[in-house]
Structure 1
Amino acid sequence: MKKNNALLAATIFSIIIGLSFMFVKITLTYEGQLLILAQRFTFAFLGVLVFCVIKPVSLRLNPRETALVFLISLFYPLIFFSSQILGLDHSTVTEAGIIQAIAPAITVLLASLFLKEHIQKIQGIGIFLSIAGVIFLQLMSRSGNYEFHLIGNLLIVVSILATAVYQIMSRSVTQKVSPLQVTIYIIFVGFIFFNSIYFIQNGSLNEYAHSMTKLPYLLSILFLGVLSTAGTSLLSIFAVSKLPVIQVSVFNNLATLITILSGIIILNEPFHYYHIIGAIVIILGVLLVNAHNQPRRIYEKKK
């Protein structure tokens, strides 16, 4: 039952993440990056507060646990959300979705290094293909009228790295700290950090409030704050606390597909044949990476 709940959490997490790229792109047509991040975490924090009122949660942690949770928050939300929104401001939802497909490959590499999870030969081939697909997209962009957004896509890769590190660290931390406690603390850190930076950079309360009078923007921020920030934080932490990190990473395939489709169907973004070839190569690599989703440890404990 716990495994099924974890799989369901990973599925819902991937669907929300897949749609979040589109909503971030929508908000960027209305406001600047810093204000979006500040308001996103304000709504995420308000959502967490409402939850805590309905179901009180103990937030007591020892000093070591507190330090680990704050270290996690450095990668997620701080590095992840900063690089993601900057990347989407200089790229397209479609490109970001395709590049997102390398996330499982990166997760496998980091899991093998830090969690001592063994990489099968077929997974190594998959990692190579995933990275080759991204390189192919960049090389092909040099011909024709297709514009490859190098800076934006590199920032998306940084956000993927941050997510991988966050998931691996969460796997260890949640053995001692509950997923809900971790979620509350990292949301609080993001709320304080992004709002502080916004107001330090001469942000005004009038602008803060006025921006939310635009209905499309408000609905997008609500989705990003409550579901895509607070919701996915809890869902992903819960999933990796019950399942191997590599097994959870396979659900990025679903997020990738939803992101690409939302960019093409809803935002009417162009989709060139370069995208098709690159996506096929990347997703093929991802499938090979996850061909063995029950990893074994390199170093078994002695009985």
Structure 2
Amino acid sequence: MTASKKAYTAAVLQASIIGLSFLFVKVALAEAGPLDVLAHRFTLSFLAMSLMMLIGHKRLKITWKDIKALLPLALLYPAGFFAFQAFGLFYTSSSEAGIIQASIPVITVILASWFLGETTTLQQKIGILLSASGVAFMFLMKGVSLSQSSLLGGILIFISAIASAGYNVLARKISKRYSLMEMTYVMLSIGFVVFNVLALTQHAFNHSMDTFLVPYGKPAYLLAIVYLGLCSSLVSALLSNYALSILKASQVSVFMHLATVITLFSGVLFLQETLSASDIGGALLILLGVFGTQIPLFKKRESHAQLKQVKKEGVGIR
């Protein structure tokens, strides 16, 4: 299997993990607040990766210089993305948030063009817009109620989208200097510190410090945190960083729309949710857009035409 095929496989697996994670987020949020869930999941992912480093044959040698260089990446994702998303969802609906976050691949294309000099074909641009339109269409058909207080939430969600797009671009650049494990370990370490500080500060203000660890006593919550910490945080970060080390940032980012489709169908399979015509239509737009960004149809047609021309010229020479 070529490196590009491995990268595509990693991107699809990451989208699948993220898509399924929403089921476990629902379970976790039934027992704890958003900041507690984030603190618990990144604590588990940090501990798991630290154990991997201890028992692994190749030890990481991360200096303060390396941490300073990787800090902006970790502050964008997971710290910035999840923090702004969590507070944004407090002021706005998930439907509004879903529509705004559909813009992440579009923002990624713009940032990648500015900072990395990446170029996209007309077909890829159309594919990105199609997939974003599919996400927006599904959420719009579910109904979006705009309110005055949702403006702040929308701004926070948009900042989280910029943070995610910024991560895609910066990870692509940094992956040329740092290894996959170094990038992922620093990201998870910063996530562990940031979300535990935020969660504990919130509990200190609410005088509820004694409740911070209570959810761990619920089997369903523990199962959800294991999935979110090990799969959705640790494995997902490894897959994403690997894909970004090989593929363009714009190519990898559009796979996040695929996670929306997986979330949709996992809800049908595991939560007995129903699919509407708008869901199916939106899913088809997303899939068409994702495939459109990865498969150069027009390039293939052009090459085929050129081959026919070469054969024709060859016959004439003979």
Relative to the length of structure 1, the TM-score reads: 0.79
* 1:12 shift after superposition: 2.4
SS state at 2:203 partner: coil
Q: Which residue of 2 aligns with 1:284?
A: 288
Task: Assess, with a 3 A threshold, how the Cα gap between structure 1 residues 268 and 154 changes in structure 2: closer, same or farther.
Answer: farther
Determine if contact 1:122/1:288 at 8 Å carries over to the other structure: yes
The answer to which structure has the higher helix fraction is 2
**CA apart distance, 1:97:** 7.3
Task: State the percentage of identical aligned residues.
Answer: 39
**Counterpart Cα distance in 1 of 2:125 and 2:27:** 37
Partner of 1:183: 184
Q: Is the Cα contact below 8 Å between 2:35 and 2:86 reproduced in 1? A: no
User: For 1:238 and 1:181, how far apart are their aligned partners in 2?
Assistant: 12
Cα displacement (A) at 1:193: 1.0
Matches within 5 A, 1:152-171: 158-171=159-172
How far apart, CA to CA, are the structure 2 residues paired with 1:284 and 1:42? 37
- Cα drift, residue 288 of structure 1: 3.0
Q: How many residues are paired up?
A: 287
Which string of whole-angstrom CA distances, capped at 9 and with x for unpartnered residues, describes residues 55-78 of structure 1? 152233463x43331101111011
Is structure 2 residue 60 aligned with structure 1 residue 58? yes
In structure 2, the residue matched to 1:13 is 14
- The Cα of 1:112 is off from its aligned counterpart by 2.3
1:229 to 222, 229, 233: 233
> Does the CA contact (< 8 Å) of 1:10 and 1:239 recur in 2?
yes
Cα 1:247/1:134, change in 2 over 3 Å: closer
Cα deviations across residues 93-136 of structure 1 (Å, max 9, x unaligned)? x9977876654444333322322122212233334434444555
> Who is 1:49 aligned against?
50
Q: CA deviation at 1:214?
A: 0.6
Contact 2:130–2:285 (8 Å) recurs in 1: yes
In structure 2, relative to structure 1, the CA distance for the partners of 1:221 and 1:88 (3 Å cut) is farther
Deviations 1:147-202 (A, max 9, x none): 32665787666544432221211111111111111111111111111111111222
Match of 2:143 in 1: 147
Post-superposition offset of 1:269: 4.0
Q: CA deviation at 1:38?
A: 1.0
Q: Is the 8 A contact 1:30 1:217 kept in 2?
A: yes
Task: Answer whether contact 2:11 2:239 (CA < 8 A) is retained.
Answer: yes
2:144 counterpart SS class: coil
Is 1:257 the equivalent of 2:250?
Answer: no
Contact kept, 8 Å, 1:105 with 1:130, in 2: the verdict is no
Partner of 2:25: 24
Give, in whole Å, the separation in 2 of the partners of 1:163 and 1:22: 21
* 8 Å contact kept, 1:2–1:242: no
Q: In structure 1, what residue type is equivalent to 2:241?
A: I
Cα 1:9–1:287 change in 2 (3 A) is closer
Give the C-alpha shift of residue 260 in structure 1: 1.2
CA distance in 1, matches of 2:6, 2:133: 34
Alignment CA distance shift 1:170-1:74 (3 Å): same
Correspondence for 2:312 = none
Give the C-alpha shift of residue 42 in structure 1.
0.8
Secondary structure of residue in 1 paired with 2:61: coil
Aligned with residue 242 of structure 1, among 241, 246, 251: 246
Gapped regions of structure 2 (runs ≥ 5): 300-318
Amino acid in the other structure paired with 2:282: G
1:239–1:248 Cα contact (<8 Å) kept: yes
Distance 1:22 1:91, change over 3 A: farther
CA displacement at 1:277 relative to structure 2: 3.2
How far apart, in 1, do the equivalents of 2:286 and 2:8 lie?
23
Larger relative contact order (Cα-Cα within 8 Å, sequence gap ≥ 6): 1
Q: Shift in Å at residue 46 of structure 1? A: 1.0
Give, in whole Å, the separation in 1 of the partners of 2:184 and 2:2. Answer: 19
Whole-Å Cα distance in 2 between the matches of residues 274 and 11 of structure 1? 24
Change (3 A) 1:32 1:223: same
For the aligned residue pairs, the C-alpha RMSD in angstroms reads 3.3
Contact 1:101 1:283 in 2 (8 A): no
Q: Which has the larger radius of gyration?
A: 2
Alignment-mate amino acid for residue 69 of structure 1: L
For residues 156 and 282 of structure 1, the distance between their equivalents in structure 2, rounded to whole angstroms, comes to: 21
Structure 1: gaps (5+ residues): 296-303
Residue 221 of structure 2 is matched in structure 1 by 217
